[in-house]
Structures are given as structure tokens and as C-alpha cells.
């Protein structure tokens, strides 16, 4: 600082001296100007550095005052609790080890912090305009949950179409879990309610949801519920074909094509399975005993209860045939109404259910009219004409029906047709036919090994 002042004095003295001779004027005047400029720059730099260093020392030492415009300078309050002598000698300028200084946070709390973070993310993107009426979508951990939930603090977010589909199929595919199958149906019903609500325009059932619900009905034996879903899908298909339902619908976030809802072969198979399972549900023996006026005490005394009267068994068989007739009507009109070919895996369960109830002729008529004879075997090249043909299970049912009635000529003829088509019975089929011929009745229902064990034990006791 002193050198800069001395240099400035020398330059001022040189400027106020007498003008030299003309010969040296041109070389003397620029030197004076340069010396004056250099001295001025040095003075300004040193003044700025000294001022900045003093302010930084005051800032890091904690002597900075919060100045209030309404309070005089002499009455300002010191924000620190340290002694002024300790503030002038900052040993720990960054407060790395200090314990006396309190941690200061934002007055708004977590809500203000999250709002500042949201605005910072919005302003980083140049194409996003942060407005009050526009709400950004909230991120969700998986795609099954809706990403737009304005009232996320009070209620859980609603699932979207994909979430409902995953929930239905996650419970339907379980084995031997009727409670989960019923939960899948409840999920389907909840989606139906949301679809009718105008506040949820994006919730729409598709084939995936209908197929999952019908599969749950098939496992539970709810053939009436499966038939209801089938008629709803069929009506939706007819309305779409007539043009009453638009194929595409506009949304607030853009145009989105709606998936076409139509009857599929999986829906038909689920309906057939539901009807077949419903036909196997026999009324409990307790209800039959009550209808006949037999008490429970009398039943406990008798080891071998009296057989069910023929009229009650006939009435029960008629009631069990109702779902089978419904499935037969659906299969009869399947190619014309839905353009779905009749396959053996659709017809065989229905024919087997008719045959198990004792309607052998109806089962034979279904197999002969709905399915054609096969022209190529299993190991040969597939023939397109065998799409509606019988398979090994169909020929086995024909032979089995003839054996039940004792018509051996028809059984041999059906077995000959089976071998001509290149299909041969397995050991399971031969054992089944032998058992039927010995018992002269329809085969025993296939149950679990525990039921078979109990039957064997009861036979040994008797």
C-alpha cells in the first residue's frame, strides 16, 4: 500500500513540473500517463482485496449482524452466543466440530422442502411450464397402480386396467384355492363398478379381464355367472359390429384406441368347464335324507344306509343336466355366430359329462355330429381337414359308451374307426373299459387318493 502511494506521488509531481524541451516532449508524456494508470489500478485492487477480506473474516467468525431497517445500527442484536474476542479468532471457520451452534432449517418444514424440490425439477426441463392448474403425474413403483392420484394423502390410488388384470390372474391361476378364486371375482366386480363411474373414464374391461373372471367361474362351478359374462361380451361384440360403440375414444391426454372385446375360444372353454363342474355337484345326502323324513340318529345307527329312491335320483339327474344343455346350445351356434371352429377339446368334456349322467345316446350324437372322422394319425403330417376331427379322447368316449350299454358290436366298430384313423388306445383306456365291463355301470368318478383309500377301507370293513 505504501509503495503504491509513493508511486502515485511521484507521478503527480512529474505531471506538475515545468514542461521540458520540445525535443523530449514526445517521449516524456506517454511515460507519465502509463505510470499514473498503473498506480490507480494498484490502489483500486488493494482497496477491494482489503474490503473483501474483512467481510469474509466477519462472515466466517460469526460476527455478522442481522440488520433490521427499523432498528438503529447501535442496537442491532448479535446472532451468535460467542464472545467477541473468540469471534475475531475463528479456529473452526466451517463449524465442523462446534456443538453450540444450532442447526437452522426452513420454516415451512418438509412440505416446503418437497415443494422446492418439485419446482427445481420442473424448472430444469425447458419444455415443462409449471402452472397451478396442471398437476404432474406421481411416480409409482409398478405399472399396475394409477400414476395420477390427486388425493394421495387421504386414500390409496386406484388400479388401472393392467393392475386389475394382474390381480385377477394372480389369484385365478392358483391351484386348490377357492378363496382366491372368489377374490378374483370380487376384483372383477369392483372393476365393473369403477367402469360405470364417470369419474374413472380410463377403467375399461377387456378380453383379459373377462377371460380371467370366466376361468374363476369354471373352477368354482358358477355356470350361471359364467353365462352372464358370456352374454355381456357377446352383446358388446354385436354392438361394436353394428357401430353403436366407437372403436376409438378421445382422452384428456390424447387419443387412445380401445381394445376390441369379442368372444374367444378360451371364454367358450371356460363356460363349458363351468357347466360340466356344475353338473358334477351332487346334492348332499343329508338333504336327501331330510326330504325322505330320515333323522340323523337313525342314520348313525345304520352302517349301510338305504339307497336313494329312483324318483329322487331321476329328479337330481334332470337338474344336473340343465347346465349341460346350456353349454350344448352355445357350442351348436359357435361357428356361425363367433366364427370359432368346433375343436375336440371343446366337445369332449361336454360329451363325457352327458355320459357320466347316463345319457349315452346324447353323448354319442354330440361326438358324431359336431366332430368329423380323422384322416391322418398323430405321427403323420397334419391335415387341415382334421381341424374339426375327433381325437383319441373322442374315440375312447365312443367305445366307452358302447361298453356301458353292453353293445359290443358298436364298441368294436368304434375301436376299428379309432385304429383306422391312426390312433391307438393306451393302457389307461383298456383298464377303464375292463372295469366298466365288469361292473356293467359307468366308471367310478376319479377322486383324490384319500377318497380312494377311504373307499378301500370301508369295503374291507363291510
pLDDT in tens, 224-274: 999 999 999 999 999 888 876 554 444 444 444 445 799 999 999 999 999
The answer to whether position 178 is within a domain reads yes
The answer to whether position 274 is within a domain reads no
The answer to whether position 408 is within a domain reads yes
* Ramachandran angles phi, psi of 426, nearest 5°: -95, 175
- For 147, residues 6+ apart whose C-beta sits below 8 A from its C-beta are 137, 138, 139, 140
- In this prediction, residue 229 carries a pLDDT of 96
- In this prediction, residue 213 carries a pLDDT of 96
Share the mean pLDDT of the chain.
73
Q: Which of 97-101, 121-125, 353-357 has the highest mean pLDDT?
A: 353-357
pLDDT in tens, 45-68: 777 767 766 666 665 554 444 455
- In this prediction, residue 35 carries a pLDDT of 65
The answer to whether position 74 is within a domain reads yes
The answer to whether position 387 is within a domain reads yes
Three cell numbers at 432?
377303464
The answer to whether position 295 is within a domain reads no
pTM of the model: 0.59
Determine the structural domain holding residue 208 and report its residue range.
161-248
The answer to whether position 241 is within a domain reads yes
The conformation of residue 242, written as its DSSP 8-state character, comes to H
Last residue of a domain, one of 88, 114, 137: 88
Last residue of a domain, one of 206, 231, 248: 248
- In this prediction, residue 63 carries a pLDDT of 44
Q: Is the pLDDT of residue 101 over 60?
A: no
Q: List the beta bridge partners of residue 255.
A: 250
Task: Please answer whether residues 386 and 341 qualify as being in contact, where contact means their C-beta atoms are separated by less than 8 angstroms.
Answer: no
Rounded Cα distance between 219 and 230, Å, is: 16
The answer to whether position 305 is within a domain reads no
Number of helical H runs and strand E runs in the chain: 19, 2
The conformation of residue 251, written as its DSSP 8-state character, comes to E
Domain count, the chain: 3
Last residue of a domain, one of 248, 274, 298: 248
Amino acid at each position: 500500500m505504501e509503495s503504491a502511494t509513493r508511486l502515485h506521488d511521484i507521478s503527480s509531481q512529474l505531471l506538475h513540473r515545468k514542461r521540458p524541451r520540445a525535443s523530449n516532449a514526445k517521449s516524456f508524456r506517454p511515460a507519465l500517463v502509463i505510470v499514473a494508470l498503473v498506480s490507480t489500478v494498484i490502489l483500486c485492487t488493494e482497496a477491494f482485496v482489503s474490503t473483501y477480506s474483512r467481510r469474509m473474516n466477519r462472515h466466517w467468525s460469526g460476527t455478522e449482524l442481522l440488520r433490521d431497517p427499523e432498528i438503529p445500527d447501535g442496537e442491532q442484536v448479535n446472532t451468535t452466543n460467542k464472545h467477541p474476542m473468540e469471534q475475531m479468532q475463528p479456529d473452526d471457520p466451517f463449524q465442523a466440530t462446534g456443538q453450540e451452534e444450532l442447526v437452522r432449517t426452513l420454516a415451512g418444514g418438509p412440505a416446503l422442502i418437497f415443494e422446492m424440490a418439485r419446482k427445481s425439477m420442473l424448472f430444469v426441463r425447458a419444455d415443462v411450464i409449471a402452472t397451478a392448474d396442471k398437476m404432474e403425474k406421481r411416480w409409482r413403483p409398478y405399472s399396475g397402480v394409477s400414476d395420477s392420484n390427486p388425493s394421495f394423502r387421504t386414500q390409496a390410488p386406484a388400479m388401472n386396467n393392467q393392475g386389475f388384470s394382474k390381480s385377477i390372474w394372480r389369484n385365478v391361476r392358483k391351484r386348490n384355492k377357492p378363496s382366491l378364486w372368489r377374490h378374483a371375482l370380487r376384483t372383477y366386480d369392483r372393476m365393473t363398478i369403477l367402469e360405470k363411474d364417470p369419474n374413472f373414464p380410463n377403467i375399461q374391461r377387456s378380453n383379459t379381464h373377462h377371460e380371467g373372471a370366466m376361468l374363476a367361474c369354471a373352477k368354482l362351478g358358477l355356470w350361471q355367472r359364467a353365462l352372464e359374462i358370456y352374454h355381456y361380451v357377446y352383446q358388446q361384440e354385436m354392438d361394436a359390429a353394428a357401430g353403436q360403440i366407437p372403436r376409438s375414444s378421445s382422452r384428456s391426454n390424447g387419443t387412445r384406441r380401445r381394445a376390441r372385446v369379442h368372444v374367444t375360444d378360451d371364454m367358450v372353454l371356460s363356460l363349458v368347464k363351468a357347466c360340466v363342474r356344475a353338473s358334477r355337484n351332487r346334492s348332499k345326502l343329508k338333504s336327501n335324507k331330510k326330504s325322505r323324513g330320515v333323522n340323523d340318529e337313525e342314520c348313525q345307527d345304520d352302517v349301510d344306509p338305504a339307497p336313494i329312491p329312483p324318483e329322487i335320483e331321476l329328479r337330481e339327474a334332470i337338474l344336473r343336466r340343465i347346465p349341460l344343455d346350456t353349454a350344448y346350445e352355445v357350442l351348436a351356434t359357435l361357428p356361425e355366430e363367433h366364427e370359432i371352429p368346433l375343436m375336440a377339446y371343446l366337445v369332449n368334456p361336454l360329451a363325457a359329462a352327458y355320459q357320466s349322467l347316463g345319457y349315452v345316446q346324447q353323448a354319442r350324437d354330440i361326438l358324431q355330429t359336431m366332430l368329423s372322422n380323422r384322416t391322418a394319425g398323430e405321427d403323420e403330417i397334419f391335415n387341415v381337414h382334421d381341424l374339426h376331427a375327433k381325437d383319441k379322447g373322442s374315440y375312447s368316449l365312443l367305445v366307452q359308451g358302447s361298453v356301458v350299454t353292453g353293445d359290443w358290436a358298436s364298441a368294436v366298430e368304434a375301436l376299428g374307426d379309432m385304429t383306422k384313423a391312426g390312433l391307438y388306445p393306451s393302457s389307461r383306456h383298456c383298464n377303464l373299459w375292463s372295469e366298466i365291463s365288469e361292473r356293467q355301470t359307468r366308471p367310478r368318478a376319479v377322486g383324490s387318493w384319500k377318497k380312494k383309500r377311504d373307499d378301500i377301507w370301508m369295503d374291507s370293513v363291510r
